[in-house]
Amino acid sequence: MKPQYWIRWLSQQGAPRLALRTQARRGDLFSQLMGGNGLDDPYPLIERMRGRGKLQRTPIAIATFDHALARSILRDSRFGVRATQSFNVPRPLQELGRRFPLPPNPVDPPSMLVIDPPEHTKMRKPVASAFTPRAVGRLRDRVETVTEQLLDGLSSDGSADLIADFAVKVPIAIISEILGFPESDQDMFLAWGDSMSPLLDIGISWRAHRTALLSMEVMNGYLDAHIARLRRTPGEDILSSLVTGGELDDHALKATASLLMGAGFETTVNLIGNGIAQLLAHPGQLERLRAEPELWPNAIEEILRFDPPVQTTARTALTDAEVEGVTVRKGTTVVLSLAGANRDPEVFADPMRFDVARANAKDHLTFSNGIHVCLGASLARMEGAYALRGLFERFPELKLDGPPRRRQLYTLHGYEKMPVRLGPKVPVPEPTTV
Ligand code: HEM
């Protein structure tokens, strides 16, 4: 194992891990939330923290659970995304960690997710323009076909794990289409996604960090060969158009491909899984969708609001900034709880109620806001709608067959197992547009 792996872990994960554990033991709610107590159900802790004010200084970071404040910080040019993992780690240790670069990946520059303008604009523009109406139209056809094939493959009156057998398979097929990956490699991407998604959390174990970095190395080699192949024989996929467009060099292409892989897959699987769980937990809402199927697009927004696949993000003050009467010093990280913002009673009436007809459900912050707003939001909504509507229409008597199990991650919030009895399968309904 390379020595830089140790240094990275120590500076970015080990030190915050120790701090989170110590503070959680001393009763700090924020450390309890980020450090593991809220993995199955973070909402009671979020509500306790909301009661303590709009902008809260915790021993670990400044945090907000307030919708208006989170939204305004996301849109504020005094805040950026660079080095948001600082979390009170002594500066020399942070610098040391940054001195050892890793292979291109979603959470290090030049990934657009973690860079500020003007570099951010340069990285985002070509990707945004590669999502052309033609490219997205092709993806819609693919989402529809993949969903139908998967539903056909689930047996009438059988049992299934709806995460492994359904929820992961829709987004992995779509992201493979975007990146021009062969279908035969999908299991490998699933394994990489699994091992790299903890990197979005704070204070992960050395073991989880090491596994993630080993996958990163393997993925790097794979992407080198894949990009060289696309350069020789480009396909009709979005990555091919980025490769031939010539605006991004190989390092930037690999960072972008790995970001699209993670952002496009690890989130959408949770939208589908969380959606199944909420609809099964609220049979009255499912009944309403059966009676009024035109509510499906709004139901997707309510699922995104109520149980967001990405619970939190963060910004760092680029300069001393006055916020809510508090001076946030340059370099300080502010944690923005997207899940907390989505249940802010100032914006959402009776926020703990799951209501597929909620008029302003789409005002959630699940896709973030400002210049980093999710590039794949409409694609994710489309995947969620086809998958969930298709599933509940084909299997109207679907029931849980044991408790679903949550993934033990904080930032990415979803299920790893969902055992169900499918019940009888009804014939394919008339084609629908969602
Ligand atoms: C339900 C599914 C999804 C959720 C909840 C989600 C959520 C998010 C969030 C919260 C951010 C911004 C983070 C921040 O501001 O710090 C983001 C950024 C991004 N997302 Fe998504 N995402 C989803 C699906 C997708 C899909 C399907 C794609 C592409 C195929 C995608 C591509 C991206 C990219 C490229 C960025 C970076 C944008 C930038 O930094 O400028 N996402 N996403």
Q: What angle do CA 217, 90, 5 make, to 5 degrees?
A: 15
Residues 6+ apart with CB under 8 A from 356: 285, 288, 289, 295, 298, 299, 302
Domain-embedded: residue 94: yes
Quick check: is 253 in a domain? yes
402 lies in some domain: yes
Instruction: Please tell me if the CB atom of residue 260 comes closer than 6 angstroms to any atom of ligand 1.
Output: yes
* pLDDT for position 136: 85
Q: Read off the pLDDT band of 284 (50, 70, 90).
A: very high
| Number of domains composing the chain | 1
Atom of ligand 1 nearest to the CA of 384: 1
**Residue 400: inside a domain:** yes
Element counts in the chain: helices (H) and strands (E): 18, 12
Q: How far is the CA of 270 from the centre of ligand 1 (A)?
A: 13
Q: Is residue 429 part of a domain?
A: no
Q: Mean pLDDT over residues 394-408, rounded?
A: 96
Cβ of 368 less than 6 Å from ligand 1: yes
Backbone angles phi, psi at 334, to 5 degrees: -115, 120
Least confident segment among 79-83, 94-98, 264-268, 422-426: 94-98
- Asked, for residue 8, whether it belongs to a domain, the answer is yes
Band (pLDDT 50/70/90 cuts) for residue 433 is low
The protein residue with its alpha carbon nearest to ligand 1, atom 17, reads 374
Atom of ligand 1 nearest to the CA of 123: 41
In tens, the pLDDT along 213-225 reads 999 999 999 999 9
Q: Indicate the pTM of the whole model.
A: 0.95
> Which residue puts its alpha carbon closest to atom 20 of ligand 1?
374
Q: For ligand 1, pick from 114, 146, 365, 375 the residue to mutate: most ligand atoms within 8 Å of CB.
A: 375
432 inside domain: no
What is the span of the domain harbouring residue 198? 3-421
Cα–Cα distance measured from residue 113 to residue 125, given in angstroms and rounded to the nearest whole number:
13
First to last CA, the chain: 48
Q: Is the CB of 380 under 6 A from ligand 1?
A: yes
Task: Report the relative pairing of strands 333-337 and 62-64 from DSSP bridges.
Answer: parallel
Residue 381 CA, ligand 1 centroid: distance in Å: 12
Q: Count CA within 13 A, CB hemisphere, residue 293.
A: 14
Q: So what's the pLDDT on residue 88? A: 59
- For the Cβ of 271 lying below 6 angstroms from any atom of ligand 1, the answer is yes
Domain at 270, CATH number? 1.10.630.10
User: Does any domain span residue 427?
Assistant: no
The answer, yes or no, to whether any atom of ligand 1 lies below 6 A from the CB of 263, is yes
